[in-house]
Amino acid sequence: MASIALGGLFKSYGATPVVRGLSLDVREGELVSLLGPSGCGKTTTLRMLAGLEHPDSGVIRIGGETVTGPGVRVPPERRGLGMVFQSYAVWPHRSVEENVAYPLTLRRLAKAEVASRVKEALRWVRLEALATRRPHELSGGQLQRVALARALVASPRVLLLDEPLSNLDAALREELRAEIAALRARLGTTMVFVTHDQGEALALSDRIAVMNQGVIEQVDAPERLYREPATPFVAGFVGGANVLVGQVRDGAFHTAQGDTRFPLPPGTAAPDGPCTLVVRPEDLELGAEGTPLPLSARLFLGHAAEYRFPVGGTLLRVVGPPREVRAGEVLPVRIAKAKLFATG
């Protein structure tokens, strides 16, 4: 295990800035996710940490050792890292055990030690019975387990995972997510996990760094990030909150477009003036009281239903108990809990 310190990283491709002054600390044994939309700089940050890219400026330390900085550029193979890629990156002509053994054979370890460590790594990912198979005989989930075993077999100080589940179907993603959580609990390896999937980040992480346009907007524990977003972007990206622009007048929120009026719940800090309203779908209620809105669509989710209403040039999402309603029906919508960000 090793700690990580990223200090003031900048990276541009031509005239386009990709990472802008990013700083982040990861404690020993911690799993931190870099979460954000495509193009926000999260993979570039991971590649700089791995040594596959070099920042224009800034410092990277792993276990207290400077691996990137002014006059310092430690190559990837000397950073003590394991890396799992989105595309598996396994050798098609090698068996499972040969793929996993590859990092150890490069170190010219004794055959007996290689065999022992490969067997242990395959046991970690439950692939002992498939050791002699070739990659074309494996499923996508099994291939990603091979990549995990290969990354872990050399006992890396830090494990880097670059969207490792995005190529899998929903069922396999669930299975591999649980696999990663179990491995992490067993091994205690420091991990940095890159994803655009908020469900993965919320389920796996000790902390999440939400990135947007090359900067980190908030770093926090999953529960706090969900309940106390620092910016409207974080609120909208993590948990899919409704984000409406307008202003507060006389204890109510008025949308900028159409001037739909929502009374604010008691205790909401709401000085009059321009603001952005953030309210999660589960914090809106359908009942006898509220703002009357025409229903655009109802989506059955099994345990609940999602109701969508056109408001202020967007669709307001409400999640609650399933009800027998039809598109076009006017329903009262009430805000039970909301967060306001002053603007202007």
pLDDT in tens, 116-156: 989 988 988 888 899 999 989 988 888 888 888 888 888 88
Instruction: Report whether pLDDT(48) > 80.
Output: yes
Considering the domain architecture, whether residues 273 and 195 belong to the same structural domain is answered as no
> In terms of Cα–Cα distance, which of 54, 85, 67, 75 is closest to 151?
85
How many domains are contained in the chain?
2
Instruction: Report whether pLDDT(172) > 80.
Output: no
Domain of residue 112, residue span: 4-231
Considering the domain architecture, whether residues 16 and 89 belong to the same structural domain is answered as yes
Considering the domain architecture, whether residues 10 and 72 belong to the same structural domain is answered as yes
Of 3-17, 78-92, 248-262, the range with the lowest mean pLDDT is: 78-92
Strand duo 31-35 + 16-26: pairing: unpaired
Residues 6+ apart with CB under 8 A from 14: none
Whole-model pTM: value is 0.87
* Higher pLDDT, residue 299 or 89: 299
User: What CATH number did the domain enclosing 335 receive?
Assistant: 2.40.50.140
Percentage of residues in the chain having pLDDT higher than 90: 62
31 contacts 184 by C-beta, under 8 angstroms: yes
Mean pLDDT of the region 307-328: 93
Mean pLDDT taken over the chain: 91
Considering the domain architecture, whether residues 179 and 30 belong to the same structural domain is answered as yes
User: What per-residue confidence (pLDDT) applies to 61?
Assistant: 98
Q: Tell me, yes or no, whether 236 lies in a domain.
A: no
Considering the domain architecture, whether residues 216 and 256 belong to the same structural domain is answered as no
- In angstroms, the CA 17 to CA 169 distance is 33
Alpha helix stretches (DSSP H) within the chain: 42-50, 96-106, 111-124, 140-152, 170-187, 198-204, 222-227, 232-237
Considering the domain architecture, whether residues 151 and 267 belong to the same structural domain is answered as no
187 contacts 152 by C-beta, under 8 angstroms: yes
8 contacts 70 by C-beta, under 8 angstroms: no
User: What CATH number did the domain enclosing 38 receive?
Assistant: 3.40.50.300
* Residue 337: Cβ-neighbour burial (10 angstroms; 0-12, 13-18, 19+): middle
Q: Tell me, yes or no, whether 270 lies in a domain.
A: yes
Positive or negative torsion for Cα 324, 325, 327, 333: negative
Give the CA distances from residue 21 to residues 6, 56, 188, 221, in Å, rounded to whole numbers and listed in that order. Answer: 10, 10, 29, 22
Considering the domain architecture, whether residues 213 and 248 belong to the same structural domain is answered as no
Considering the domain architecture, whether residues 203 and 293 belong to the same structural domain is answered as no
User: What per-residue confidence (pLDDT) applies to 143?
Assistant: 87
Of 65-79, 185-199, 289-303, the range with the lowest mean pLDDT is: 185-199
Q: SS3 sequence, 305-318? A: EEEEEEECCEEEEE
CB atoms within 10 A of CB 137: 11
- In angstroms, the CA 304 to CA 285 distance is 13
User: What per-residue confidence (pLDDT) applies to 176?
Assistant: 78
Q: Tell me, yes or no, whether 258 lies in a domain.
A: yes
Considering the domain architecture, whether residues 324 and 187 belong to the same structural domain is answered as no
81 contacts 2 by C-beta, under 8 angstroms: no
Q: Tell me, yes or no, whether 295 lies in a domain.
A: yes
Which one of 173, 196, 231 terminates a domain? Answer: 231
Task: State both tokens at 151.
Answer: 């990354």
Considering the domain architecture, whether residues 48 and 189 belong to the same structural domain is answered as yes
> In terms of Cα–Cα distance, which of 289, 286, 239 is closest to 263?
289
User: What per-residue confidence (pLDDT) applies to 344?
Assistant: 65
Considering the domain architecture, whether residues 152 and 248 belong to the same structural domain is answered as no
Which one of 203, 231, 259 terminates a domain? Answer: 231
User: For 224-279, what is each residue's pLDDT tens digit?
Assistant: 999 899 999 999 899 889 999 999 998 899 998 878 999 999 878 778 899 999 99
Which one of 212, 231, 250 terminates a domain? Answer: 231
Q: Specify the amino acid at residue 183.
A: L
Q: Tell me, yes or no, whether 191 lies in a domain.
A: yes
User: What per-residue confidence (pLDDT) applies to 36?
Assistant: 95
* Residue 313: Cβ-neighbour burial (10 angstroms; 0-12, 13-18, 19+): exposed
Considering the domain architecture, whether residues 227 and 245 belong to the same structural domain is answered as no
